[in-house]
């Protein structure tokens, strides 16, 4: 049973920005044929939308694990969790970033959570994960329902 669940859907502006493929493909294919230009524009934009939706990761916290996209982390190895917003989140993604960290970042999501790991066999110091609700995700990961393996 999930304690926390969030889908990292692309923001509306991402769909609008990628819609620029429509006039671009029309510009290229209309001189060949009106039908080819329209069909190409629809197919290309449709492929972009399908790709954006199909690759949207989900964050799930259960009593035993934290899943970020396809990656899974046992909660027993979670040492500390911090949520960040605004300038702090920007610094975590930039100047404070450890190159060994595992990342699940989405540019259209401003908040993030840093999940510090306590696993001597893992060279990854922490996970850095985008979230629209950093406080709620951090609280879910800190919850007393955390189980040791």
Q: What is the pLDDT of residue 2?
A: 87
Of 73, 57, 78, 61, the C-alpha closest to 2 is: 61
pLDDT for the residue numbered 143: 83
pTM assigned to the model: 0.82
- Per-residue pLDDT for 105 more than 90? yes
Helix (H) or strand (E) holding 111: none
Residue 58's nearest CA partner among 114, 115, 132 is 132
pLDDT digits (tens, 9 = 90+) for 107-145: 999 999 999 999 899 999 999 999 999 999 999 999 854
Backbone angles phi, psi at 96, to 5 degrees: -90, 0
DSSP state letter for 15? H
Residue 16 has pLDDT above 80, yes or no: yes
Q: 48-92: per-residue pLDDT in tens?
A: 999 999 999 999 999 999 999 999 999 999 999 999 999 999 999
């Amino acid at each position: 049973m999930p304690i926390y669940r969030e889908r990292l859907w692309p923001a509306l502006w991402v769909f609008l920005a990628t819609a620029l493929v429509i006039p671009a493909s029309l510009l290229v294919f209309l001189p060949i044929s009106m039908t080819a230009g329209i069909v190409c524009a629809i197919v290309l934009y449709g492929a972009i939308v399908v790709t954006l939706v199909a690759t949207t990761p989900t964050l799930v916290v259960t009593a035993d694990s934290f899943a970020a996209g396809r990656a899974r982390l046992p909660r027993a190895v979670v040492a500390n969790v911090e949520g960040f917003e605004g300038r702090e989140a920007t610094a975590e993604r930039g100047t404070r970033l450890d190159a060994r960290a595992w990342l699940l970042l989405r540019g259209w999501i401003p908040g993030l959570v840093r999940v510090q790991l306590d696993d001597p066999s893992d060279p990854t110091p922490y996970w850095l994960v985008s979230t629209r609700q950093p406080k709620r995700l951090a609280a879910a990961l800190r919850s007393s329902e955390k189980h040791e393996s």
